[in-house]
């Protein structure tokens, strides 16, 4: 199953490395990534494969959100199909 990870916060060194390391620690594979910095704010969207994750999706989403708070970032993870349905025009 695929999921979408969004990350938003003030830009600084190591955000991508930290988020990717956290995902890797739960055996989540990054399939695609897009990031940009706009006027000092970092934004990133990732498509990840969670089928082999060591945690159930809801627990993984909670862990990523908690990790984001520790890094002063907003990190959200949700199933790709739900994300797509929510953002359909």
What CATH number does the domain located at 2-86 have? 3.30.70.260
Taking only the tens place, the pLDDT of each residue in 22-37 is 999 999 999 999 999 9
Q: CA–CA separation, 33 vs 6, rounded Å?
A: 10
Please give the Cα distance from 54 to 50 (Å, whole number).
9
- Residue-level length of the chain: 89
Provide the whole-model pTM: 0.90
Cβ–Cβ < 8 Å for 28, 49: yes
pLDDT in tens, 64-89: 999 999 999 999 999 887 777 776 66
Domain residue extents for the chain? 2-86
**Rounded Cα gap, residues 89 and 42, in angstroms:** 25
Residue 52 confidence (pLDDT): 96
């Amino acid at each position: 199953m695929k999921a979408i990870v969004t990350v938003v916060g003030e830009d600084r060194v190591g955000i991508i490395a930290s988020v990717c390391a956290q995902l890797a620690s739960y055996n989540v594979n990054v399939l695609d990534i897009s990031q940009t910095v706009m006027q000092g704010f970092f934004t990133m969207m990732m498509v990840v494969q969670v089928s082999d994750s060591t945690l159930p999706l809801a627990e993984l989403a909670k862990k990523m959100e908690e990790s984001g708070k520790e890094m002063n970032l907003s990190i959200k993870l949700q199933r790709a199909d739900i994300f797509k349905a929510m953002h359909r025009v």
